Amino acid sequence: MSLQKRDKKHLWHPLKQHQLNPDSLAIVKAKGCILTDEDGNEYIDAIASWYTCMYGHCNEYIVEATYKQMQQLDQVMFSDFTHEPVIKLSEELIKILPQNQNKIYFNDNGSTAVEAGIKMALQYYFNNGEKRSLFIAFENGFHGDTFGAMSVSGLSVYNDPFEDFLIDVKRIPTPNGSNTKTLLEQLKLLVSHHNIAGFIYEPLIQGAAGMKTHDAKGLNTILNFFKQHNILTIADEVMTGFGKTGKNFASDYLETKPDIMCLSKALTAGLLPMAITSCTQEIYDAFLSNDVAKGFFHCHTYSANPVACATAIAGIELLTSTKIQDSIKWIEQSHSKFNTEIKNHPKVETTRHLGVIFAIDLNVKMARYGDLRDKLLKFFMDRGVFLRPLGNTIYIQVPYVISKAELQKVYQTIQDALHFI
Ligand SMILES: *Cc1c(COP(=O)(O)O)cnc(C)c1O
């Protein structure tokens, strides 16, 4: 029996209405940018398996470092012990993170990195004798699927069953270059009526919203406003982190740095699940006390798993190598060129690109998980390219190791798709 058939017996996939869409393609192999299915068909992974495998699938350097660590120390409780991989990883991260970040906290995935960030902010004020409960977030932001992360996410189309159980959040529009004044007025009003614990944002690009970009200057002004009002800022760089935007972190484009940062996805190069919530020394210091209860009692069993740490160290070594940095630059240049070719196409409404990310909004109405979207996805797969349109947005986030021929094929397939729709 095929894997696809066997899958249906016991498995429940995420983000799927099984009654409408029962089949899942079985992938048996992945190498570099290529996924191979059980019938031997190959697909270019043009979104790096949700922005994780940025150094290519089964990258030998990463696999080797991981295997080496597996033979030495597999798992140990981070609440009671420490180990070299986690110490080295913290040192390497601090070298590349924005300068104000000084403490590294471990989680298992992007949602729990956000969850810990939210809890850190709430307890920071609590420990300082203040009760604050409201968060501010961007409209259409996405921060994950656990309750805190779901609460701050503005993309709540499918969250109706949980609406009554979410934490209190006020949403503001993203800065667009001309609304900064209105935004500041809105924020002043919010600050005068509420005890605000934090502002959470995806810096410069909102991934799940369809790679929507916003104005860096405007964002910087907002961040300054929060700094002046002693409100903590949480940068969710789960998607943007580790080179995707052309810099190590999207926050590197901004003058004002976040108090807390959430990282995952490319952190472990697609090999193992792990996430990090980093913060400033000032936040950490607010948890120091003779009172045990003022510590941070948030923990995941696999916190700072040594094998995942070794994988992450190897990932950072590759990220900071000249080879990968050069690749990011040429992908950026290719995207620029592709942009001039495609932006005036009659089916294209707008385009945008930053680093290795490229997005096109089609001037066709398309439901996020509707028929046309499914047809488009099939069109891409039939031509051997894995792209996952979101609503009327087609976007690329290719692994840094993609070849020129592979990238050309991705572009060509998108161009062909414009004739198809
Ligand atoms: C993917 C994502 C998350 C959630 O991460 P998971 O590992 O899927 O829980 C949070 N924030 C952003 C910006 C993301 O892209």
CATH number at residue 189: 3.40.640.10
SS3 330: helix
Task: Report pLDDT digits (tens) over 385-413.
Answer: 999 998 899 999 999 999 999 999 999 99
Which of 273, 201, 233 shows the shortest CA–CA distance to 50? 273
Domain co-membership, 286 together with 335: no
Q: In ligand 1, which atom is closest to the CA atom of 144? A: 4
Phi, psi (deg, nearest 5) at residue 371: -60, -50
**399 CB near ligand 1 (under 6 Å):** no
pLDDT at position 368, please? 75
Tell me, what CATH number does 357's domain have?
A: 3.90.1150.10
For the segment 277-286, the average pLDDT, to the nearest whole number, is 98
Residues of the chain with pLDDT > 70, as a percent, come to: 100
Write the CB contacts of 227 (distance below 8 Å, at least 6 apart in sequence).
233, 256
153 C-alpha to ligand 1 centroid (Å): 10
CA dist., res. 416 & res. 421, Å (int): 9
**154 CB near ligand 1 (under 6 Å):** no
Domain co-membership, 86 together with 152: yes
- Residue to substitute in 143, 201, 395 for testing ligand 1 pocket (most ligand atoms within 8 angstroms of CB): 143
For the segment 111-139, the average pLDDT, to the nearest whole number, is 97
Query: Among residues 319, 340, 372, which one ends one of the domains?
Result: 319
Q: Measure CA of the first residue to CA of the last residue in the chain; give whole Å.
A: 35
SS3 157: coil
Q: Which residues pair with 198 in a beta bridge?
A: 135, 232
Measured CA distances, 421 to 119, 348, 363, 372, 374 (Å): 45, 11, 10, 8, 12
Find the helix or strand (DSSP H, E) in which 339 lies. Answer: helix 322-342
Domain co-membership, 271 together with 352: no
Domain co-membership, 87 together with 151: yes
Domain co-membership, 141 together with 233: yes
- Residue to substitute in 51, 53, 115, 142 for testing ligand 1 pocket (most ligand atoms within 8 angstroms of CB): 142
Average pLDDT, the chain: 96
SS3 102: coil
**Structural domain that includes position 222:** 63-319
Q: Taking the model in full, what pTM does it have?
A: 0.97
pLDDT at position 168, please? 95
Query: Among residues 319, 343, 376, which one ends one of the domains?
Result: 319
Q: Are strands 385-386 and 42-45 parallel, antiparallel or unpaired?
A: parallel
Burial label for 409, CB within 10 Å (0-12, 13-18, 19+), is middle
366 C-alpha to ligand 1 centroid (Å): 23
Domain co-membership, 118 together with 35: no
Q: How many structural domains are present in the chain?
A: 2
68 or 364, which is more confident: 68
Domain co-membership, 278 together with 366: no
CA dist., res. 284 & res. 103, Å (int): 7
pLDDT band at 156 (very low <50, low <70, confident <90, very high): low
Task: Report pLDDT digits (tens) over 37-75.
Answer: 999 999 999 999 999 999 999 999 999 999 999 999 999
For the segment 4-27, the average pLDDT, to the nearest whole number, is 95
Which of 27, 62, 29 shows the shortest CA–CA distance to 268? 62
Domain co-membership, 137 together with 110: yes
Domain co-membership, 42 together with 92: no
143 C-alpha to ligand 1 centroid (Å): 6
Where b means 16+ CB within 10 Å and e means fewer, 216-229 reads: bebbbbbbebbeee
Contact at 8 Å (CB) between 352 and 213?
yes
Domain co-membership, 19 together with 70: no
**143 CB near ligand 1 (under 6 Å):** yes
pLDDT at position 350, please? 97
Query: Among residues 319, 346, 369, which one ends one of the domains?
Result: 319
Q: In ligand 1, which atom is closest to the CA atom of 208? A: 15
- Residue to substitute in 214, 238, 242, 395 for testing ligand 1 pocket (most ligand atoms within 8 angstroms of CB): 238
Domain co-membership, 213 together with 333: no
Domain co-membership, 383 together with 330: yes
pLDDT band at 239 (very low <50, low <70, confident <90, very high): very high
Token code pair at residue 7: 């899958």
